[in-house]
Structure 1
């Protein structure tokens, strides 16, 4: 069980937080804001490490590479950026989308960056190439792309057209499942056997990725219009989703019953779970990020102000 109040609050964005994500080892997190910035944090110490500027409009998504040396970002300025974490340098600007870019994702090797946008396409960029053009474009969706996830062998894509699409990379095949309502978030479970689907009919679904069979659904929250996220704990013991009533719902994965609800300080659309602990981050419309920990853990120490990146051991290159 998580504590009912945030253990720490990170303040730095001047407007809504559109995305927050832990990096691969959970030591840092990055956040994307309506204020056109990306911020790198040490969430346990509540310290802002670095601010990344360069996008011309709202930043909609940010994600860390698997070696934690780079960031990928998506923006309403129709661009996806590839960043160097330590220096803050923009290594590559990808401008191929015709509209807002909603989501980005690295593959496991972090040599490819995928971006999805309101132009109904997913663009795949080769980061080892010098080209700024996509090496492949997935254009099967009939409406905006809201979410992407990827494993070694598969890409899953969520769209406002109400369908999830799973691309088998090795076999070159596409499998589609029709949900009905707009899909705002898709992600593979941590065992890679199923897909978690959040849609605007007040329902989170767990779908077998091979057969398309509905394994379970999770209800009780309100989700009718906003682009809300749903994820699972690192051990797939529970499903978590934010709610349009400023709450987080936590369901038992197998039984489907609500295990806990958290009252959020403000409306949140994004959440991220720690890769190896029962810890949770939520980012809200007030510009704050809240850290939630289990009842057995001590609250992190409070630190004021901004610290230099040199104060922290960044992952080796």
Structure 2
């Protein structure tokens, strides 16, 4: 193995190593989830050298320099106040996902929307102009994703029962994946961008080969719609959440179900791995979230306190915090280690359908049917800012990579860009 170059990852903190083995370029990450501004650099670099053979003595000083940059970035939390910048109108706007073009880029140049008008559209964030329209589906485009960290492909899932794979630069359709017997409602790329997973109302998930366009596997076992799915950061496991009240963990290599997570008393609204792949969180209409060990499938905690359905759930990038959004109009932040509720976020006048952490983990963003999005302080639970201007329910919200821009999507058929 020969180390070629380093990439810096600010959120969560880490260093990506690009190396050559057998004539092929590969990457691996050194995750520094416990890094703080007070961490001793010499001790940390020494620990890295002991566990990572690619980091030789000659590379130690460069690693130290990169870790120092990560520490400096952590000290730049800031108290950014967002101002409305642009609005983009699209008839029947349905879903929104914002991306950075590369995991290592600090820009936030594009986002995509899927729509009832059967298209997916790519937008330039800075100018608010439409870059490209992806046409070809025969029904609602409901699920969309970029293949981060590469950002050169887009997958779209539709109520026409197909998934399409597109070139993000030219808009060319590479493949149309046929095989589901009902609407596709969720999808995801694996981190290596070699597979696309789709979840459907036909109670199955499927794996598709990005290069060939062929179906790799049908993951059967759920008895109701698969509404949520997520790869872990290693790409070797997929988790699915279903209306049958269960969560399933699948081994990607063998295409077998490893665990069925049973315990919820209602439909699963969302499932997610934490960054180090050790935990899974699930939200349910039974008004609770559950925390599960990814390896054993054991339920380690039930996070309760909401009085209505839990509609969304999210880990922060460090995997230390969990945020929940509920139809009761409140959001909560829980500790992933002690499982206690740290703060309850009160102020919305309607259900909260979407919640996410800022990349730094110091802020939480919520989207509500009360036509506003709100920014909250994670430590105190104080509402820092109300983002107003939409004229109907806000169903989606997201930070950019740096955490200094926000996009909101609404049933008023617009998305708004905030800086």
Name the TM-score class by shorter chain.
0.7 to 0.9
Q: CA 1:279–1:109 in 2, change beyond 3 Å: closer, same or farther?
A: farther
Q: Which residue of 2 aligns with 1:307?
A: none
Displacement after TM superposition at 1:105 (Å):
0.9
Q: Report if the CA contact (8 A) 1:233-1:278 is conserved.
A: no
Say which of 231, 235, 251 aligns to 1:150. 231
Q: Which residue of 2 aligns with 1:305?
A: none
Q: Which residue of 1 aligns with 2:113?
A: 31
* 1:74-223 paired onto structure 2 within 5 Å: 74-131=157-214, 134-151=215-232, 152-170=235-253, 172=256, 174-180=258-264, 181-221=266-306, 223=308
Structure 1 residue ranges, 4+ long, deviating more than 6 angstroms after superposition:
1-6, 297-300
Instruction: Please list every run of 5 or more consecutive structure 1 residues that lacks an aligned counterpart in the other structure.
Output: 301-317
Displacement after TM superposition at 1:34 (Å):
3.8
Q: CA 1:235–1:17 in 2, change beyond 3 Å: closer, same or farther?
A: farther
Q: Report if the CA contact (8 A) 2:356-2:398 is conserved.
A: no
Looking at structure 1, the residues matched to 127 and 334 of structure 2 have their Cα atoms a distance apart, in angstroms, of: 28
Looking at structure 2, the residues matched to 262 and 38 of structure 1 have their Cα atoms a distance apart, in angstroms, of: 34
Q: Report if the CA contact (8 A) 2:354-2:397 is conserved.
A: no
Looking at structure 1, the residues matched to 358 and 297 of structure 2 have their Cα atoms a distance apart, in angstroms, of: 28
Displacement after TM superposition at 1:128 (Å):
1.1
Question: Matched residue of 2:249: which SS?
Answer: strand
Q: Report if the CA contact (8 A) 2:80-2:404 is conserved.
A: no
Say which of 4, 18, 24 aligns to 2:95. 18
Displacement after TM superposition at 1:48 (Å):
4.7
Structure having the larger proportion of residues in helix: 2
Structure 1 length-normalised TM: 0.77
Note the aligned Cα RMSD (angstroms): 3.6
Displacement after TM superposition at 1:31 (Å):
3.5
Instruction: Please list every run of 5 or more consecutive structure 2 residues that lacks an aligned counterpart in the other structure.
Output: 1-76, 370-391, 407-419
Structure 2 length-normalised TM: 0.60
Displacement after TM superposition at 1:222 (Å):
5.0
Q: Report if the CA contact (8 A) 2:96-2:111 is conserved.
A: no
Looking at structure 1, the residues matched to 94 and 351 of structure 2 have their Cα atoms a distance apart, in angstroms, of: 10
Question: Matched residue of 1:88: which SS?
Answer: coil
